Chain A
Amino acid sequence: MGLGLGVMRTIEFLLLIIAILSAPVLSDLILSKVERRIDLTSQIARIASTIKAENDGSSSVSEILLSIPEVQAKNLAYLTAKLVEGKGKAKTSGVALAVEPANPKGMPPALSFYTMILPKPLANGDSVTLDVLAAFTHSLRPFPEKITQADIQLVVFQDTAHYLSPYPVKVQSLTLKLPDARIESYTKLENTKGLGSEIKYGPYENLPPFSYSPVAIHFEANQAFAVARELVREIEISHWGNVQVTEHYDIVHGGAMSKGEFSRLDYQSKPQIRGASAFKHLVAKLPPRAHSIYYRDAIGNISTSHVRGDSKKTEILIEPRYPLFGGWKTAFTIGYGLPLQDFVFESEGKRFLNFSFGSPMHDLVTDSITLKVVLPEGSKYLSVSTPFVVQQEEEIKMSHLDIFGRPVVVLKKANVVPEHNQFFQVYYQFNALAMLMEPFMLITGIFFLFVTCIIYVHVDLSISKSSASYLAKLQWDDVRATVQQIQNTVNQCLSTHEKLEASLRDLSRTGDVQACKAARKATDGLLKELSKELKPLISFLQSSPPAAHILPKVEELVAKERELQERLMAKHSTIVDSYEKKLGGRETENRVASVQQKIVALRQDIEDLMEYIDEI
């Protein structure tokens, strides 16, 4: 199997080699030592190279070229170079070098070039040591491409045993680290050693530029091949104290395609064998103090997730609705809130968000990421600083009760690996007062609602001011007002009566007959006045037709009230009389009794009538 593949791939590389060999030799730089370690334990191929370069020529060299075959270059996700300082054990990787794509002339077309610009030019005879890390996605090709549920997943990785470089290389070696000792096959060259899960090529010495020796390793890889075809991360800043992150994933198992049946029975009884190539869960490492975490998809909450948190991180283990076999897809959304003060800072009058770029998922390859930073409404002067090149746009998002919308910084990048989880910054200016705009708007809105209600109640909205029903309504309003007045007057009368009674009580206490008489006179006058007031009101009621049905009641009320007046007067005079005549209490009572009876009955009637009229 591996052999057949090797043949096929070798032809491809032969073409490449032919192209390479025809290229001119470059400059005077010599790579005195190249050590390459390829880590294939995950789905991302990470190639770490330590390169020692020596200037053998006369002129000083300020940049070093890296070459990568184009077949690999399109999978290149991440490339950095660091200067190594010190010697031996005290080696420390220091300054990161700028790595830029280059297009030097006269080079073979099947290679992509990158230049590393040295901080200071390399003089004749000087040497420099570099650490170069490159990460490639989708470079482990499943072979066979389709497997059944029971099969293990085998992949092929291809590279060159000789370091492909435009410079001559003196000494070099290559180490491949595989996830497992089970290796199907690998290209055997001179100096090849297989040690458990490690394969070593080299050392090789004194090879010319562009020397190339293809190797293919066919090995078992059952780790998760989780690929996010698309990831949209939305980071929404609220200056009320929250940074809300929402991540929409579109995940596919990027390994060998599954063919044939899927048997849950097999999967459940022997998950390690009959489902080795599937992955069941993903682990996301969220920042500490993440709260309100949710995990759902288009059709609702997904209940299979676990959150563990400590002061350093919050770890969330999420299981998709079903285990993912090769080629199976799923989509879901996770969201969480973070405390504002951990991520948004202020400096020199500007605020900035400091947030990590990539997905928090462990070992996830993201084909295309869209990062949206939603700033609060009213933010101005946006600027972005990222550690690597991204595509950048701006848009507006309308959200909760916005008027102008919130400015959104959109960052896009293809082919993202966990190495890209570096912090980027979005700078903006924001006035804290703008925070109060929405509450203020709500307050105003509700205020105006009430104002409208008040206006509606108090303003006459009738269209026709002359229609019969409108006039009838007006009249009826008048009638009601009049009735109200009558009631008030009657109430006044009643309170006047009260005064009369009070004077009687005073009489029994003080025995001041004169004062009592005076009180009677005063109340008499008052009552007369009141009854005078009543007259026009009653006549108005009599004249207005809509009052017809309550008129009798009102008239009855007035009549009763008058009667009550008379009775009270009678009672009053009787008591005063008997007091003057110094009659005994018992006798007075007897004389008053019948009147008193009437009075109480009348009072009751009046109260009933008032109530009745009230209800109209």
Chain B
Amino acid sequence: MASPESAVNGPTMTAGAASKSLRNAFGGVIAFIILVLIGVLAFSIRLFSVIKYESVIHEFDPYFNYRVTQFLSKNGIYDFWNWFDDRTWYPLGRVIGGTVYPGLTLTAGTIWKVVNSLNIPLSVETVCVFTAPIFSAFASWAAYLLTKEVKGPGAGLTAAALLAMVPSYISRSVAGSYDNEAVAIFALVFTFYLYIKTLNTGSLFYATLNALAYFYMVCSWGGYTFIINLIPMHVLLCIVTGRYSSRLYIAYAPLVVLGTLLASLVPVVGFNAVLTSEHFASFLVFIIIHVVALAYYIKGILSPKMFKVAVTLVVSVGLAVCCAVIAILIAVVASSPTKGWSGRSLTLLDPTYASKYIPIIASVSEHQPPTWPSYFMDINVLAFLVPAGIIACFMPLTDSSSFVILYIVTSVYFSGVMVRLMLVLAPAACILSGIALSEAFNVLTRSIKFQLPGIAGNPSIASEENGSSTVVAPNDIPKTEEAAKEKPAKKNRKKEKENVEKKPTPSKTEKRLLVLPLEASVIAVLLLVLLGAFYVVHCVWAAAEAYSAPSIVLTSHSNDGGLHVFDDFREAYSWLSHNTDVDDKVASWWDYGYQTTAMANRTVLVDNNTWNNTHIATVGTAMSSPEKQAWEIFHSLDVKYVLVVFGGVVGYPSDDINKFLWMVRIGGGVFPHIKEPDYLRDGQYRIDAQATPTMLNCLMYKLSYFRFVETDGKGFDRVRRTEIGKKHFKLTHFEEVFTTHHWMVRIYKLKPQRNRIRGKTKKSKSSRSVSSKRDVRGKRNPWH
């Protein structure tokens, strides 16, 4: 009579057991396929720029990297290390091999070499364009690995999918955005993964890999200091919270020793790896972990009483020694003006530092603090999921989850200081959101599973459907109750029996607590899916619309829906490269230095590697001086052409007039005769009728607005939305040699020095206005 019941249970059990290994295999295959798809997604979402525009290098820094890669692929690695670039920072030059983070370049160079050795003729440019998307796919996989170590594969897959399309990372890694960060984020996440892996396994193999990954990170990006400070912080946290273990020691000590040795092999880091304050934390913690290790060891071999004696002895001696050492350290550090920190690091510690002391760092837009909308723009819904992820990490708190918490906390702070460090926040936000989402789905789907009548009779099917759930708890009581309500006709006898039988299963009560009402969980799942869908839509939009513009080509839609292309930058660079002498020097504001050297192949005075403030200040001074003084400065620097970017005709807002305040500020910082108040009216830089005479007579104004009034008769500047102040004027020391189609780039040539004719010089001097004469005396060319 009881047989029907056992007929149900019997085959289920055997089948369940047999299919278990199969299911695991399936899970592995599905996870693998999902990972591959995530990689494809990460790669393809970044191709909008190629599809909408073209396969071209973007922005400014990527052009430099591209040029270095070209050099590397042409001349080989040894020439690359020894490369002294005389086409930039004229007349100083720049030691590229020793001042560049070579990771990205070497990576792309290697890819190019491998591909070409297989006789696949890809150009260096193509390889450079697609390096970033490829490494984004790698970064997603690394995020999977890291999150898997922390919270299991389900969270890993979610995190990887989130990272594959997080807008913040997309902004730096669309196809063509050939920048250090593209590779560095992968290196960062992968280093963290290997650290966690070592921490979880205690394997020296992974510890060594970790050091190598750290080395790659050091090669790639200055942001490696984040790793070498975050990991010690975590180690310290573990020690303080009493989580010291041999695994922790293995995870940390080899990293510091090997990592520092390897890091100092990179020319740009060199002895900085032991000398600068950025690395002090790691050494300090290195000492602490040894002391702790020793303490644990001694504790192990001594009796508790003896240990107490030893502790008092060691502590008293140790304190004295420590005080002495710390005093020396402080003295050494304090003796250097920046306290041993680089300017950018100091900006991170004290956000007001740069704006006070180093205008050149403050002038870079990506060094500004972000606004709230930019958080929403860059990490979108992740911002709301992160807190849930943090909570999920606290139950239970493990070594690895505490690391993730520390990572998010520090990166949130850093991203608040510099908008560019949003990039460091993005992986952390993805990992925590992945954890949050996966935990939420876990709870919700389990709740649904136990309450759905259709699946109730067959727990093995249910658990198969939810492969990622970590807790498979076939809790039968609610299940059977449901069955009783909804299917009264079915096997009455069995139901009754089970009611009786299943009560004595107390072990399941804990799991039952997590079960939510069916309706609530269904709605919650729907909402979460909706949230995810919103995220995907936002990311695709961001990738397609916001972050794909290569910035050297601008487009606008005309009223009839046609596409208008503004290709003025390349027009100008192309003109320079074909119609000027190879050795001519071109002066422009530093923003365009990299592009000029890469695209026009002309020597520039200053470029985006802002290593010499004085030199930049010289150019800034020239731009903000009257024509004659500017000519003298430029002439003394062998400059033949001056390039200015002017948006007034088409309304291109990031032109040189809008950047002019930095020229004045940086120039004035070094050459005090440039005074910012001279250019300001009511605290503003104005170019309209209210503008100061100094402003209207400075070179930048003149070069920008030369003959501008003749375009429309009024001289209406579409960027500043005003008529210009001084409309009709002539250039005395410069002549226009090229202006692009939309007037966005204007190139002027320095007029040759006039022959000296006796008597005539006097006349020309006297003909000059009195005020400008005074100017001449007051603002002497700093180079004479």
Residues on A facing B (Cβ under 8 Å) = 260-265, 269, 297, 299-304, 321-322, 327-331, 398-403, 487, 491, 494-495, 497-498, 501, 504-505, 508, 585, 588-589, 592-593, 596-597, 599-601, 603-604, 606-607, 610-611, 614
Given the complex of chains A and B, what is the CA–CA distance between A614 and B20 in angstroms? Answer: 8
Among B1, B56, B575, B710, chain A packs the most CB atoms within 10 A around the CB of B1
A601 to B571, CA, bound (A): 82
CB distance from B476 to the nearest CB of A (A): 8
In addition to A261-B736, A401-B118, A401-B119, 6 A-B residue pairs with Cβ atoms within 8 Å of each other are A261-B735, A321-B571, A399-B119, A504-B3, A596-B2, A607-B17
Binds A, one of B389-397, B414-422, B667-675, B738-746: B738-746
Residues of A with C-beta under 8 A to B505 = 601, 604
Q: Are the CB atoms of A494 and B10 closer together than 8 Å? A: yes
Give the docked Cα–Cα distance between A611 and B463 (Å).
Answer: 12
Residues of chain B in range 112-167 having any CB-CB distance to chain A below 8 Å: 118-121
B8 to chain A, nearest CB (A): 11
Cβ of B9 under 8 Å from chain A: yes
Given contacts A321-B567, A501-B10, A601-B504, contact A263 B739 (CB under 8 A): yes
A505 touches B7 (CB 8 A): yes
Closest-CB distance, B65 to chain A (whole angstroms): 15
Closest residue of B by beta carbon distance from A588: B1
Instruction: Confirm or deny: B334 has a beta carbon within 8 angstroms of a beta carbon on chain A.
Output: no
CA distance A508 to B24 in the complex (A): 39
Cα–Cα distance between A610 and B23 once the two chains are bound (Å) = 14
Alpha-carbon distance between A497 and B11 when the two chains are bound, in angstroms:
10
Contact, CB under 8 Å: B20 / A611? yes
The A-contacting residues of B in range 482-498, CB under 8 angstroms, are 497-498
- CB proximity of B15 to chain A, nearest CB, Å: 10
Q: In the bound complex, what is the Cα–Cα distance between A43 and B234 (angstroms)?
A: 77
A589 in contact with B1 (CB, 8 Å): yes
Q: Is the CB of B575 within 8 A of A321?
A: yes
25 sampled A-B residue pairs with Cβ under 8 A: A261-B736, A262-B737, A263-B739, A265-B707, A299-B56, A299-B573, A300-B552, A300-B553, A300-B570, A301-B54, A303-B565, A322-B575, A322-B741, A328-B578, A328-B579, A401-B118, A403-B119, A501-B6, A501-B7, A588-B1, A596-B497, A596-B501, A600-B9, A603-B9, A604-B505
**Given known contacts A299-B573, A508-B1, A402 and B119 CB-to-CB distance under 8 angstroms:** yes
For B13, give its contact among A399, A400, A588, A607 (CB under 8 Å): A607
* B452 within 8 A of partner (CB): no
- Contacts A264-B741, A264-B743, A611-B472 hold; do A299 and B574 have CB atoms under 8 A apart? yes
Does B16 contact A585, Cβ atoms closer than 8 Å?
no
Chain A min CB distance to B581 (Å) = 12
In the complex, which of the residues A321, A398, A585, A601 contacts B574, with contact meaning CB atoms closer than 8 Å?
A: A321
Residue of A nearest to B711 (CB): A265
With a cutoff of 8 Å between Cβ atoms, the chain B residues found around residue A487 in the complex are 17
Chain B positions within 8 Å of A604 at CB level: 505
Categorize the interface residue count of chain B.
Answer: 35 or more
CA distance A263 to B730 in the complex (A): 13
**Which residues does chain A contribute within 8 Å of B736, judged by CB atoms?**
261-263
- The interface centre, meaning the residue of A331, A400, A607 with most chain B CB atoms within 10 A of its CB, is A607
- In the assembled complex, B599 has its CB within 8 A of some CB on chain A: yes
Tell me the B residues contacting A by CB distance below 8 Å.
1-3, 6-7, 9-11, 13-14, 16-18, 20-21, 24, 54-56, 118-121, 472, 497-498, 500-502, 504-505, 552-553, 565, 567, 570-571, 573-575, 578-579, 599, 707, 710-711, 735-741, 743
Asked if B14 and A498 sit within 8 Å, CB to CB, the answer is: yes
Least distance between B757 CB and chain A CB atoms (Å): 22
- How would you classify the secondary structure of chain A's contact residues: helix, strand, loop or mixed? helix
**Contact residues in A for B121 (Cβ distance below 8 Å):** 398-400
Please give me the residue from chain B that is nearest to A397 by CB atom: B121
How close is A113's CB to chain B, nearest CB, in angstroms?
40
Bound together, the chains give a CA A533 to CA B13 distance in angstroms of 21
Chain B hits for A262, CB < 8 A: 736-739
CA A522 to CA B21, docked complex, whole Å:
30
* Inter-chain contacts of B55 with A (CB < 8 A): 300
The residue in B6, B9, B599 that gathers the most chain A C-beta atoms within 10 A of its C-beta is B6
Q: Which of chain B's residues have a CB closer than 8 A to the CB of A321?
A: 567, 570-571, 574-575
Kindly report which residue of chain A lies nearest to residue B4, judged by CB atoms.
Answer: A505
In the complex, which residues of chain B have a beta carbon less than 8 angstroms from the beta carbon of A260?
Answer: 735
A531 to B146, CA, bound (A): 45
The interface residues of chain B lying within 8 Å CB-to-CB of A331 are: 578
The 10 closest A-B pairs by CB, nearest first: A264-B739, A505-B3, A300-B56, A498-B10, A301-B54, A303-B565, A329-B578, A321-B571, A501-B6, A321-B574
Contacts of A300 in B (CB 8 A): 54-56, 552-553, 570
Instruction: Tell me the minimal C-beta distance from B549 to chain A in angstroms.
Output: 14
Residue among B13, B54, B740 facing the most chain A CB atoms (10 A cut-off):
B13
B567 contacts which chain A residues (CB < 8 A)? 302-304, 321
Do B578 and A603 touch across chains, with their CB atoms under 8 A apart? no
- Chain B residue with Cβ nearest A252: B578
Residues of chain A with a CB closer than 8 A to B743's CB = 264
**With a CB–CB cut-off of 8 A, which chain A residues contact B3?**
501, 504-505, 508
B2 touches A592 (CB 8 A): yes
Q: Which residues of A contact B10 (CB under 8 A)?
A: 494-495, 497-498, 501
Kindly state the separation between the CA atoms of A604 and B507 in the bound complex, as whole angstroms: 12
Q: A262-B739, A328-B579 are in contact. Are A610 and B17 (CB under 8 A)?
A: yes
Chain B: CB-nearest residue to A506: B3
Residue in chain B with minimal CB distance to A505: B3
B contact residues around A585 at 8 Å (CB): 1
Residues of A within 8 A of B741 (CB): 264, 322
On chain A, the residues within 8 Å of B739 by CB distance are: 262-265
A404 to B570, CA, bound (A): 39
- Whether B119 pairs with A597 at a CB distance below 8 angstroms is no
Complex: chain A residue closest to B734, CB-CB: A261
B47 to chain A, nearest CB (A): 16
Q: How many Å lie between the Cα of A585 and that of B119 in the bound state?
A: 83
The one of A299, A600, A606 in contact with B599, judged by C-beta atoms closer than 8 angstroms, is: A299
* Given A300-B570, A611-B472, residue A329 in contact with residue B579 (CB < 8 A): yes
A330 to B54, CA, bound (A): 21
CB distance from B566 to the nearest CB of A (A): 9
Contacts of B553 in A (CB 8 A): 300, 303
CA distance A395 to B120 in the complex (A): 18
- CB of A449 to closest CB in B, whole Å: 14
Q: Which residues of B contact A269 (CB under 8 A)?
A: 710
Say how far B587's CB is from chain A's closest CB, in angstroms. 18
Q: How far is B27's CA from A153's CA once the two chains are assembled, in angstroms? A: 77
Complex Cα spacing A491 to B24, Å: 18
Set B13, B501, B737: member contacting A494, Cβ < 8 A: B13
Please, how many angstroms separate the alpha-carbon atoms of A508 and B14 in the complex? 24
A-side contacts of B498, CB under 8 Å:
600
- Say whether, besides A329-B579, A399-B121, A505-B3, A597 and B500 are in contact (CB < 8 Å): yes
B170 to chain A, nearest CB (A): 21
User: Which B residues are CB-close (under 8 A) to A304?
Assistant: 567
Q: A493's closest neighbor in chain B, by CB?
A: B14
State A182–B21 Cα separation when bound (angstroms). Answer: 94
Minimum CB–CB distance from B756 to chain A (whole Å) comes to 22
Closest to A586 in B: B1
| CA A589 to CA B121, docked complex, whole Å | 81
A606 to B55, CA, bound (A): 61
B contact residues around A495 at 8 Å (CB)? 10, 14
**Chain B nearest Cβ from A303, distance in angstroms:** 4
Chain B residue nearest to A589 (CB atoms) is B1
Can you name the residue of chain B whose Cβ is closest to the Cβ of A607?
A: B13
A304 to B11, CA, bound (A): 73
In the assembly, what is the distance between CA of A601 and CA of B119, in Å?
67
How long is the Cα–Cα vector from A607 to B474 in the complex, in angstroms? 11
Please give, as numbers and ranges, the residues of chain A lying within 8 Å of B738 by CB-CB distance. 262, 264, 322
Chain A residue with the shortest CB-CB distance to B20: A614
Closest-CB distance, A407 to chain B (whole angstroms): 15
Q: Which of A264, A330, A589 has the most CB of B within 10 A?
A: A264
* A606, B9: Cα distance in complex, Å: 13
